[in-house]
Structures are given as C-alpha cells and as structure tokens.
Amino acid sequence: MKKTIYIILGCISVVLGVIGIFIPGLPTTPFLLLSSWLFYNSSKRLHDALHHSKWLGPYIRRFQEKKGVGWKTKAVSIICMWTMISISAFAVLENLHVRILLMALGVIGTCCVLFVVPNAKREK
C-alpha cells in the first residue's frame, strides 16, 4: 500500500514539476527531486526512468551530485520564466495590481535562480 501511494505521489510530483517549467512561481526542481525520492522508495524502474530521462535526468543527477546548475541553464530558465510572466501580465491580465504582483514575483524568482540555486562547478 505504501509503495502504491509513493508511486502515485511521485507521478503527481513529476507532472507538477513539468508544469512548473511553463508556469512562473511553480518550482520545477523540488518537485523532480521529490519524485526521485518517492520513486527511490517505491519503484526502481520509475526511479531509473526518471534519472535516465533525456529531458529531466541531467538536472536531477547534477543536483544530487551537488554540482548545481550551469549558467546556460539558469539563463534559459530565466528567459522562459519572463516569457510566461510577460504573456500572463500583458496578454491575459488586465488588473494593474495583479500585474505588479506578478512582476514582483518574477523578480523574486529571478533572484532565487541567480543567488540561491547553486552554480555548477567546472570539472577539471
């Protein structure tokens, strides 16, 4: 029963992590790391599939090896985040206060990516 619950929660966490790639404010990496832990404790096959995933695997492995994230990845993340914020704020929303809040959250997210997320160490 516990394994089944972990697998279900792991799948939900993967979905939320992937959605977080496109939705500003929804974290991607913590959900993927949670999925990795849940699958590790429930299904070796799903854990290995997540870690060997072409798109998600390298980020998880890099984080678990404490190497951090490269500057190119950070730049792409920030560009994607601000693209979605801009679309939301200027094409969808009409309320000025919500636009300002969204922009403030974008600044916070950008600062987190730049200063909180560890930088990848160069291999020698």
Cβ–Cβ under 8 Å, residues 52 and 45? no
Task: Give the C-alpha distances (Å, rounded to integers) separating 85 from 20, 46, 66.
Answer: 13, 33, 29
Token pair of 20, please? 């977080």
Q: Could you read off the pLDDT of 19-76 as tens digits, one per residue?
A: 888 876 677 877 888 899 999 999 999 999 999 999 888 878 777 776 777 788 788 8
Q: Which residue has the higher pLDDT, 11 or 31?
A: 11
Three-class SS state of 119: strand
Domain extent listing, the chain: 2-64, 71-116
Return the closest-CA partner of residue 35 out of 22, 17, 52, 23. Answer: 17
Residue with tokens 């998880």: 60
pLDDT above 70 for 124: no
Q: Confidence band (pLDDT; 50, 70, 90) for 92? A: confident
Find the mean pLDDT for residues 4-12: 95
Backbone dihedral region for residue 117 (phi beyond 0: left; psi -120 to 50: alpha; all else: beta): beta
| Single pTM value for the model | 0.59
